[in-house]
Amino acid sequence: MPLDPSTKTHASLSSAGTEPGDGTNSICHGFLGGVQANSKHVIDAPQVTLVLWDSLFANNSAAVTSAKQLVTDLLTGPYMNGLAQYGVARGALVNTVVVDTKNYPAPATWDVNDGNDLTQLKTWFTANVLAAPPKDNTDGVFFIVLPNSTQLTNGKNKDGTPNTSVVGWHHSAKYNSTSSNNDLFWGLVLTKPNVLTKGSEQAFINGFAYGVAHELCETFTNRDGNGYTNSNGCEIGDICEADTSNNLITFPYKSWSVEPYWSSWDSACIHGDAPVSLQRFFTAINFNSNTQPLSALGTPVINLDYIASRMR
């Protein structure tokens, strides 16, 4: 099935993408105008299937465990706190599938616009490697960790060479023709040039953890191009992934190195694991706690799920 022409795949910057003019998302870095809600098409309760595509995962259970831990730490931990303002609550890792490149050979190159990632997903659905999304799916997400031999590209540089300053992207399509909107959502991340050796599994996964965090938070807040983004196509991760010289920005989260993301409440990039400001939440829903009792909210508890539900 063709990609939905109304949406555009948006790549994220790799740690190597520091060349002004040839980097990815340069127009977004340091932008203070934020994002707009548009149609608020978010993934409000993310249910992620992790796809580990490489023989190295088939042969190294510790690497699988480490990859699952990263995604679990992101989905179920405080990294999701800041996403509540966009209507996104904490999620879950519902399945992990290891795909051996001996059975499904690795592509040498994928470009952000070639559509080969959708073709690959459809192949796995047909072969029952993955379960296809149900009609009108809005919560399920496939996240692909690519083979170490695969290079991602984002078009060409000014000199005509492939632009390799890209670590991943996310996209969507309508898989079931009877669905009201796009119902297939996926993200992917580059693993090269990281090298896996026995005993260095966590370091290997941490080499691209920033890209995993980036793509997940953007997939959740802009599932099909009709969520939180701006007129330049910048999403909440793009604005905060690098400085104005295209140098990558990360911060420590649990055992990982991840990226900040844009907060509309703060009008700034934030470490998503910071506690949610109740005052900013009250302001966002036009609730004056000085003149109204909290009981007027009609809830016995104000937690992350409640805040996310009110912001949808």
Task: Say if CB 85 and CB 264 are below 8 A apart.
Answer: yes
pLDDT digits (tens, 9 = 90+) for 88-131: 999 999 999 999 999 999 999 999 999 999 999 999 999 999 99
- Residue predicted with more confidence, 67 or 15: 67
Position 4 confidence tier, pLDDT thresholds 50, 70, 90: very low
Tokens of 37: 């809600």
- Sign of the dihedral defined by the CA atoms of residues 141, 145, 149, 151, in that order: positive
User: Is residue 9 a contact partner of residue 171, using CB atoms and an 8 Å limit?
Assistant: yes
Predicted confidence band of residue 194 (pLDDT cuts 50, 70, 90): confident
pLDDT score at 14? 72
For 242-300, write each residue's pLDDT tens digit: 998 889 999 999 999 999 999 999 999 999 999 999 999 999 999 998 899 999 999 99
How many CB atoms lie under 10 A from the CB of residue 246? 21
Q: What percent of the chain has pLDDT over 70?
A: 94
- Tokens describing residue 251: 């911060």
What mean pLDDT is reported for the chain? 92
- Grouping H, G, I as helix, E, B as strand and the rest as coil, residue 92 is strand
pTM score of the predicted model? 0.94
For the stretch 196-230, pLDDT in tens is: 888 999 999 999 999 999 999 999 999 999 999 99
**pLDDT above 70: residue 238:** yes
Query: Which pLDDT belongs to residue 15?
Result: 65
Which residue segments constitute the domains of the chain, with CATH numbers given?
A: 10-28+36-275 (3.40.390)
For the cut 50, the answer to whether the pLDDT of residue 64 exceeds it is yes
Which of these, 231, 301, 158, 233, lies nearest to 309 by C-alpha position? 301
pLDDT at 21: 43
Distances (CA, A) of 311 to 86, 200, 282: 6, 41, 11
Strand (E) positions, 90-237? 92-99, 109-111, 140-145, 151-153, 168-173, 184-189
| Contacts of 155 by beta carbon, 8 Å cutoff, 6+ apart | 111, 112, 113, 162, 163
Q: Which residues pair with 52 in a beta bridge?
A: 98, 145
Contact between residue 265 and residue 308 where contact means Cβ atoms under 8 Å apart: no
